[in-house]
Amino acid sequence: MPTTERVTYAWCFVHASLHVFAQASTPWCTAAWAALDAADREAALTEKQTRFGAARFFDELPREQQLALRHMEPDKHHPHE
């Protein structure tokens, strides 16, 4: 454990990689990522596997999961959609 900084782990389906966000600041990635309920990197990857299987990119997700992720994109949020 290097620090006690609180972080959020998230899988990003645009960059196809695990992101780590400091909870104290705004996430640096505004693409389609899903926050993972995990305390460390290993748990985050396990959680990602459980929820999204082998999908790494947005296009590999089922449609309903794509829609759920779109709502998390602040840049693409359209209130009248």
Q: Say whether residue 29 binds Zn ion (CB under 5 A).
A: yes
- Piece of 29-37, 41-49, 54-62, 66-74 that binds Zn ion (CB under 5 A): 29-37
Quote the CA–CA distance of 2 and 55 in Å, as a whole number.
30
Tokens coding 25:
């600041």
CA trace torsion 58, 16, 19, 75 (10° rounding) = -40
Q: Say whether residue 7 binds Zn ion (CB under 5 A).
A: no
Tokens coding 21:
């966000």
Q: C-beta of 47: minimal distance to Zn ion in Å?
A: 17
Nearer to Zn ion, 1 or 45 (CB): 45
Q: Say whether residue 67 binds Zn ion (CB under 5 A).
A: no
Nearer to Zn ion, 15 or 56 (CB): 15
Sheet with 17-22: list strands edge to edge.
17-22, 7-12, 33-36
Q: Say whether residue 56 binds Zn ion (CB under 5 A).
A: no
